[in-house]
């Protein structure tokens, strides 16, 4: 069976940046499972998986526009240290949820300069090319229920 809309796909992946540093991998654990055509994985990877089958191995380099987005300068802001009341020591790399007019946003502390904290609301991998090494391990038809929910049920998926 080929990967197409309305199929459920299991695959192993290793994700590296352009320096060859491994950022994430499913090797040694369970494969990732997703419903194809539902936008559940980054667009560039979903496109590259289209038409593949069980046992296929390939590499794909995904541009930021098809990955976690380009880095948006307006999502980087300086906020006063006092905005982190209750946090003992604010340090670069810490992640917080911020209430914004557009809703809750995940932000990462980029740096702390005196009483000023620079926070970045971009995805940590925004602006980066994503180098995936992929191995497709299973493809099956999605159930009617999975299609109506827009995600996979069972092992590796939603359990509800």
User: Which residues sit at the interface with Zn ion, rule CB under 5 A?
Assistant: 149, 158
CB of 151 to Zn ion, least distance (A): 6
- A 10 A CB-CB count for 124 gives 13
In the chain, the DSSP E strands lie at: 7-16, 22-25, 32-35, 57-62, 76-80, 95-100, 103-113, 116-120, 130-141
Closest CB to Zn ion among 129 and 149? 149
Closest CB to Zn ion among 81 and 149? 149
CB of 148 to Zn ion, least distance (A): 8
- What's the token pair of residue 81? 């240290």
Closest CB to Zn ion among 35 and 42? 35
Cross-strand pairs, 139: 9
Closest CB to Zn ion among 81 and 153? 153
What is the distance between the alpha carbons of residues 3 and 22, in angstroms, rounded to a whole number? 26
Residue nearest to Zn ion (CB): 149
CB of 34 to Zn ion, least distance (A): 13
CB of 150 to Zn ion, least distance (A): 8
């Amino acid at each position: 069976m080929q990967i197409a809309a309305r199929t459920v796909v299991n695959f192993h992946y290793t994700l590296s940046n352009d320096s060859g540093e491994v950022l994430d991998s499913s090797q040694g654990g369970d494969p990732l499972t997703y419903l194809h055509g539902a936008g559940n994985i980054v667009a560039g990877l979903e496109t590259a998986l289209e038409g593949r089958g069980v046992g296929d191995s390939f590499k794909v380099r995904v541009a930021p526009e098809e990955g976690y987005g380009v880095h948006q300068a307006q999502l980087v802001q300086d906020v006063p240290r006092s905005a982190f009341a209750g946090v003992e020591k604010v340090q670069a790399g810490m992640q917080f949820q911020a209430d914004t007019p557009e809703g809750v946003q995940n932000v990462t502390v980029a740096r702390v300069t005196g009483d000023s904290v620079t926070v970045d609301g971009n995805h940590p991998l925004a602006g980066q090319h994503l180098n995936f090494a992929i191995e497709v391990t299973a493809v099956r038809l999605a159930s009617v229920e999975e299609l109506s929910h827009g995600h996979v049920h069972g092992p590796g998926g939603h359990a509800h």
